[in-house]
Amino acid sequence: MSPSVGKTIILIGLLVLAVGVIIYFFGDKLSWLGRLPGDIRVEGKNGGFYFPIVTCLVVSLLLNLIIVLIRKFFG
């Protein structure tokens, strides 16, 4: 294994740790996540369908921003 693989694993671990800390300390303040305007929710008598499309877009944009910043500073 090359040192770059080790660096990547360490960065992934730090990101997982950061997400865990954010969820642990700020989980009650993130209750809006998954309930954004534009998320599709259809409820019927026998069940329902939920697709958080806007939430997926927001999370995708944030993750892309984080990846770009990591590549800029560590790449």
Residue 75 has pLDDT above 80, yes or no: no
In tens, the pLDDT along 7-47 reads 889 988 998 999 899 989 998 998 888 889 999 999 999 99
pLDDT confidence of residue 39: 94
Beta bridge partners of 51: 40
What's the rounded Cα separation, in Å, for the pair 45 and 58?
Answer: 31
Domain ranges of the chain: 1-30, 32-75
What's the rounded Cα separation, in Å, for the pair 65 and 57?
Answer: 12
State the pTM of this model: 0.65
What's the rounded Cα separation, in Å, for the pair 10 and 15?
Answer: 9
Residue 74 has pLDDT above 90, yes or no: no
64 vs 7: which has the higher pLDDT? 64
